[in-house]
């Protein structure tokens, strides 16, 4: 985050302050997300968070003013928090009880492994294409989330786990 902010703001001390303010949203995200946790279908919360991450990220790449970077950075953090808790809850609902722990562990492990590789890709894109390149990559990844979960993800709200896995 500090490198992305610094690339947009070009003022190292100000970028550190902006990054600090953005990171204050990390504990707030789960609290705010808990308000809507059971009010909406989880798959649509994931889709909404992915769309929000893509839009706010692209806007972040176009801003250089400190206030805009803080607001957009906080919105990105909130969307990522929403997507994180929803996806963990959603994936645990998708698998039958007899294999849920193994399946969720498998999915989580692949997620961690993909994070290692995407971190390298983001570093490469940042060097070559700057903040805009990073957020275009993230927006494309969020498009994959929107299509895969929005189109292919089953509905889970109000259904027993046995009904979902059937």
For residues 98-125, average pLDDT: 92
User: 41 is in which domain, residue-wise?
Assistant: 2-165
Share of the chain above pLDDT 70, in %: 98
Region of 95 (left: φ > 0; alpha: ψ -120 to 50; beta: rest) is beta
What integer pLDDT is reported at residue 10 of this predicted model? 64
Residue 7: is its pLDDT beyond 90?
no
Number of domains in the chain: 1
13: CATH: 1.20.1250.20
Place of tokens 């979960």: 149
Question: What number of other Cβ atoms are within 10 A of residue 67's Cβ?
Answer: 10
Do residues 79 and 53 make contact, with C-beta atoms less than 8 angstroms apart?
yes
Do residues 47 and 31 make contact, with C-beta atoms less than 8 angstroms apart?
no
Residue 114: is its pLDDT beyond 90?
yes
Mean pLDDT, the chain, integer:
90
**pTM assigned to the model:** 0.89
Place of tokens 């390298």: 120
Share of the chain above pLDDT 90, in %: 58
């Amino acid at each position: 985050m500090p490198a992305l902010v610094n690339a947009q703001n070009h003022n190292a001390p100000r970028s550190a302050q902006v990054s600090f303010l953005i990171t204050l949203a990390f504990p707030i995200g789960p609290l705010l997300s808990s308000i809507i946790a059971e009010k909406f279908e989880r798959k649509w919360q994931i889709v909404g968070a992915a769309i929000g991450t893509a839009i706010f990220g692209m806007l972040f790449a176009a801003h250089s003013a400190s206030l805009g970077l803080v607001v957009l950075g906080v919105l990105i953090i909130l969307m990522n928090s929403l997507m994180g808790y929803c996806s963990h809850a959603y994936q645990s609902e998708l698998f039958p009880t007899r294999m849920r722990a193994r399946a969720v562990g498998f999915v989580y492990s692949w997620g961690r492994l993909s994070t290692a590789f995407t971190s390298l890709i983001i570093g490469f894109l940042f060097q070559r294409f700057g903040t805009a390149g990073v957020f275009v990559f993230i927006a494309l990844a969020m498009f994959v989330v929107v299509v895969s979960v929005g189109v292919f993800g089953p509905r889970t709200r109000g259904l027993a786990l046995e009904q979902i896995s059937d």
